[in-house]
């Protein structure tokens, strides 16, 4: 079999379809075969017998900060990837260019580190 | 190149340095860096440079618009002080982005540069953490993001139509027109041409006055730099009509809107919309850089004066009544405000008059008579609201009550009066404006009004053309591509000729005028190419040359351009 990229991706699509089918099958089997006796106590959220905690106004901003940092540095990785593949042919100039890019992002990282964004109070 | 290095290194270094030095020192470091960048710009004035494979080009457009943008940032740094050093840092980032915006002919790079200076401004717009500030920042951000998306789509269509990411690449067909209209619309957001101006009054009013000043001057300079590059083509097709419509709407609605205002910052916002329309008149002719450059410089100085006076009174709203009798209470502020208003109104002998005259002349050269008349009429209308403010500044009236006196910070130079204390240390200082920048700017507005040649000659590209003429002008190079018309040594009239030549079908060639690359042409299927000059050449000797991208000298012709 020829290993052309498109046919390999077709295999991935088939894989996803099969995985989805098996997953759905499992859920359907569980839903069909199980006994069904819903009641008020059963439908309550679980909290070790206590009433669930009240309303939460907002979540800590840390989650957002972490997600933001992840996006920034994930984009950095996206840019590093092509260099990593062709590092040798790009030579010293390519390396220096990459270094400038990395240092710029690293300065950003140091800034947020010293600002205490990573401190999980 | 050196300008870019200074701005890049300074902003990167200050990012970390700010942790160790007080905010005051950071501010002076930022001010010094911008001043050094301006000095380096003037020191290398007229030199042409290309770097990063043509993604960064130093030419008259880059130099003129960077000068105006950096002066705007410098002005903001001089009159705005915050307890947080990030204020200076963000201004510095914006300066670097604006310089790159003015210096790149590459559309994707233009988009990145646009974001680099826009993102700091979104933050700065919300610097006063009150409801008004948040509203301003949110509006600015949402519309800025929308315009960036439109810009990006325009770039994609531009690439589809011309096969090139270079601004000013030749193209034709509906796809090309659509691309130019999209890019025009996106950049019109940034320079707030009607009907893309809706955010302007709210954002200028809600932002701290120092930041509004930046948006009104430096951002416009960067936006117009991109517009000059993208739209600087000789054949004005549909996009020329679109631009004409935008300008007509802008001068009408900007000035009429300003008539109805009751608050000084909002008035200056509408005034800045109207002035964007006047600048747009300069885009019609190919010699735009000089006229637009001078106009923007004059506008920067005069509106900078007006905004600085408002910033000294309050970083928030300044109702008209607070200006009453300013001349007697604070003579320096009064004089600066009056000079600024006169110049904005376009009265001689102030710099604004010559700015207006120059762009009107450009419109006349391009024979845009309808627009010109419209601009003249609305300019007369504009005089009403500027002179109304001036009338307040010089009025001695019963309204100058004691509480008005108290509302105005007592010392012009002295102890700081902080506006809105208890807002997390983010507010901007008011009132502690050093007197000398105001004096210098006022003097410059008057000086450029009396001796406009001083400023105009700075922006006019002709004196520098001789400096950068290629040393060899060979006409005998046996190349597979050549120029067939005009013939070597021909005498031609400006604005009436095109270049023609031959080459290999499908090949892309670069056309150079003296030492600057003016366009890219694609050789057609029949092995010939032709180029309407993107801008009418200046009178005098020109050496036109075609080169293969990346290669050195190519065949050239030497022609004389006469009136």
pLDDT per position as a tens digit, B465-476: 333 334 343 333
At residue B148, the pLDDT reads 95
At residue B101, the pLDDT reads 94
Which chain B residues have a beta carbon less than 8 Å from that of A110? 16
At residue B473, the pLDDT reads 39
Rounded CA-CA distance A83/A74 in Å is 15
* Residue A86: both structure tokens together: 């062709």
Between residues B514 and B65, the one the model is more confident about = B65
Rounded CA-CA distance B177/B152 in Å is 15
Average pLDDT over every residue of B229-234: 71
Q: Do B15 and A114 touch (CB under 8 A)?
A: no
Which chain B residues have a beta carbon less than 8 Å from that of A103? 12
Between residues B426 and B468, the one the model is more confident about = B426
pLDDT per position as a tens digit, B290-346: 888 999 999 999 999 999 999 888 888 888 888 888 888 888 889 999 999 999 999
Average pLDDT over every residue of B125-137: 88
Length in residues, chain B: 563
Name, in order, each residue with C-beta under 8 angstroms of B316's C-beta and a sequence gap of 6 or more: B128, B132, B209, B419, B420
Q: Do B16 and A108 touch (CB under 8 A)?
A: no
At residue B67, the pLDDT reads 94
A and B: number of Cβ contacts within 8 A:
11
| Predicted confidence (pLDDT) at residue B201 exceeds the cutoff of 90 | yes
Query: φ, ψ for residue B528 (rounded to 5)?
Result: -125, 160
At residue B417, the pLDDT reads 39
Average pLDDT over every residue of B146-165: 93
pLDDT per position as a tens digit, A84-106: 999 989 999 999 999 999 999 99
Q: Do A114 and B12 touch (CB under 8 A)?
A: no
- Asked whether B515 and B454 are in contact (CB, 8 A), the reply is no
Q: What is the band of B29 on the pLDDT scale with cuts at 50, 70, 90?
A: very high
At residue A45, the pLDDT reads 80
At residue B475, the pLDDT reads 38
At residue B513, the pLDDT reads 80
At residue B414, the pLDDT reads 33
At residue B132, the pLDDT reads 86
Interface of B with A in 19-78 (CB under 8 A): 19
Between B15-24, B29-38, B478-487, the lowest mean confidence (pLDDT) is in B478-487
Q: What percent of chain B stands above pLDDT 70?
A: 86
Cα B160 versus chain centre, distance: 28
Between residues B261 and B233, the one the model is more confident about = B261
Which chain B residues have a beta carbon less than 8 Å from that of A108? 15
Query: What's the mean pLDDT when you consider all of chain B?
Result: 83
pLDDT per position as a tens digit, A23-79: 999 999 999 998 888 888 888 887 776 766 677 778 888 889 899 999 999 999 999
Give this complex's ipTM.
0.84
Between residues B473 and B74, the one the model is more confident about = B74
At residue B435, the pLDDT reads 81
Q: For B147-164, what is the HEC assignment?
A: HHHHHHHHHHHHHHHHCC
At residue B318, the pLDDT reads 86
At residue B548, the pLDDT reads 76
Q: Do A104 and B16 touch (CB under 8 A)?
A: no
- The pTM of the full predicted model, rounded to 2 decimals, is 0.79
Rounded CA-CA distance B510/B551 in Å is 10
At residue A3, the pLDDT reads 57
Distance from CA of A47 to the nearest CA of B (A): 39
B506: left (phi over 0), alpha (psi -120 to 50) or beta: left
* Ordered DSSP codes for B200-260: HHHHHHHS-HHHHHHIIIIIHHHHHHHHHHHH--S---HHHHHHHHHHHHHHHHHHHHHHT
Average pLDDT over every residue of B96-110: 94
Q: Do B16 and A111 touch (CB under 8 A)?
A: yes
At residue B107, the pLDDT reads 94
Average pLDDT over every residue of B253-278: 93
Distance from CA of A105 to the nearest CA of B (A): 10
| Predicted confidence (pLDDT) at residue B421 exceeds the cutoff of 50 | no
Q: Is B15's Cβ below 8 Å from some Cβ in A?
A: yes
pLDDT per position as a tens digit, B365-408: 888 899 999 999 999 999 999 999 999 999 886 555 545 555 55
Between B26-35, B40-49, B242-251, B459-468, the lowest mean confidence (pLDDT) is in B459-468
- Asked whether B274 and B250 are in contact (CB, 8 A), the reply is yes
A54-60: which pairs have CB atoms within 8 A and are 24 or more residues apart?
Answer: none
Q: What is the band of B28 on the pLDDT scale with cuts at 50, 70, 90?
A: very high
Rounded CA-CA distance B527/B172 in Å is 18
Between B412-416, B436-440, B494-498, B554-558, the lowest mean confidence (pLDDT) is in B412-416
At residue B286, the pLDDT reads 62
Which chain B residues have a beta carbon less than 8 Å from that of A107? 12, 15-16
pLDDT per position as a tens digit, B510-552: 887 877 777 788 777 667 777 777 666 777 777 788 877 766 6
Q: Do B15 and A107 touch (CB under 8 A)?
A: yes
> In chain A, which residue's Cα lies nearest the Cα of B15?
A111
């Amino acid at each position: 079999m020829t290993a052309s990229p498109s046919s390999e991706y077709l295999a991935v699509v088939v894989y996803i379809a099969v995985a989805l089918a098996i997953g759905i099958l499992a859920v359907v089997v569980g839903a069909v075969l199980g006994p069904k006796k819903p009641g008020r106590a059963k439908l309550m959220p679980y909290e070790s017998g206590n009433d669930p905690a009240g309303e939460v106004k907002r979540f800590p901003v840390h989650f957002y900060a972490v997600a933001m940092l992840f996006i920034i540095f994930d984009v950095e990785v996206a840019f590093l990837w092509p260099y990593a593949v062709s590092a040798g042919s790009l030579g010293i100039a390519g390396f220096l260019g990459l270094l400038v890019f990395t240092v710029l992002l690293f300065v950003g990282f140091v800034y947020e580190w010293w600002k205490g964004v990573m401190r999980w109070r | 190149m050196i300008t870019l290095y200074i701005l890049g290194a300074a902003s990167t270094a200050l990012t970390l340095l700010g942790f160790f030095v007080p905010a005051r020192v950071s501010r002076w470091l930022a001010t010094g860096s911008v001043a050094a960048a301006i000095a380096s710009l003037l020191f290398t004035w007229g030199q042409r440079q290309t770097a990063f494979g043509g993604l960064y080009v130093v030419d008259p457009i880059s130099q003129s618009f960077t000068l105006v943008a950096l002066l705007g940032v410098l002005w903001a740094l001089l009159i705005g002080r915050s307890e947080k050093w990030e204020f200076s840092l963000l201004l510095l980032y914006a300066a670097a982005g604006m310089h790159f915006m003015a210096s790149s002919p590459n559309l994707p790079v233009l988009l990145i540069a646009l974001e680099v200076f826009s993102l700091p401004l979104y933050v700065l717009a919300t610097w006063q953490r009150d409801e008004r500030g948040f509203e301003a920042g949110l509006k600015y951000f949402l519309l800025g993001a929308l315009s960036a998306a439109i810009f990006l789509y325009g770039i994609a269509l531009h690439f589809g139509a011309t096969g090139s990411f270079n601004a000013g690449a030749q193209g034709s067909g509906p796809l090309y027109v659509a691309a130019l209209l999209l890019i025009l619309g996106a950049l019109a957001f940034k320079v707030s041409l009607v009907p893309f101006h809706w955010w302007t009054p709210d954002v200028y009013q809600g932002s701290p006055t120092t930041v509004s000043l930046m948006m009104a001057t430096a951002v416009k300079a960067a936006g117009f730099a991109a517009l000059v590059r993208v739209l600087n083509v000789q054949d004005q097709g549909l996009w020329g009509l679109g631009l004409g419509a935008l300008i007509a709407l802008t001068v009408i609605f900007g000035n009429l809107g300003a008539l109805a205002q009751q608050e000084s910052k909002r008035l200056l916002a509408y005034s800045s919309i109207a002035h964007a329309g006047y600048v747009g008149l300069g885009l019609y002719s190919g010699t735009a850089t000089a006229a637009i450059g001078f106009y923007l410089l004059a506008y920067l100085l005069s509106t900078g004066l007006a905004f600085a006076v408002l910033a000294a009174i309050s970083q928030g709203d300044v109702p008209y009544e607070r200006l009453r009798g300013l001349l007697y209470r604070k003579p320096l502020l009064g004089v600066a405000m009056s000079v600024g208003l006169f110049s904005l109104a376009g009265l001689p002998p102030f710099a604004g008059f010559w700015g207006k005259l120059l762009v009107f002349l450009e419109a006349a050269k391009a024979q845009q008579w309808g627009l010109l008349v419209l601009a003249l009429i609305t300019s007369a209308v504009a005089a009403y609201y500027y002179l109304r403010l001036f009338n307040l500044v010089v009025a001695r009236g019963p309204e100058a009550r004691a509480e008005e006196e108290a509302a105005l910070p007592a010392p012009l130079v002295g102890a700081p009066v902080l506006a809105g204390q208890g807002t997390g240390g983010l507010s901007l200082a008011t009132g502690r404006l050093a007197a000398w920048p105001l004096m210098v700017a006022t003097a410059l507005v008057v000086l450029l009004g009396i001796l406009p040649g001083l400023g105009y000659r700075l922006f006019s590209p002709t004196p520098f053309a001789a400096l950068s003429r290629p040393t060899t002008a060979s006409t005998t190079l046996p190349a597979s591509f050549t120029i067939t018309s005009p013939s070597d040594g021909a005498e031609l009239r400006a604005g009436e000729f095109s270049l023609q030549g031959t080459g290999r079908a499908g090949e892309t060639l670069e056309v150079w005028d003296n030492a600057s690359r003016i366009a890219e042409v694609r050789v057609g299927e029949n092995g010939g190419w032709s180029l309407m000059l993107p801008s009418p050449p200046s009178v005098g000797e020109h050496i036109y040359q075609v080169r293969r991208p990346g290669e050195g000298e190519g065949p050239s012709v030497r022609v004389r351009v006469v009136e």
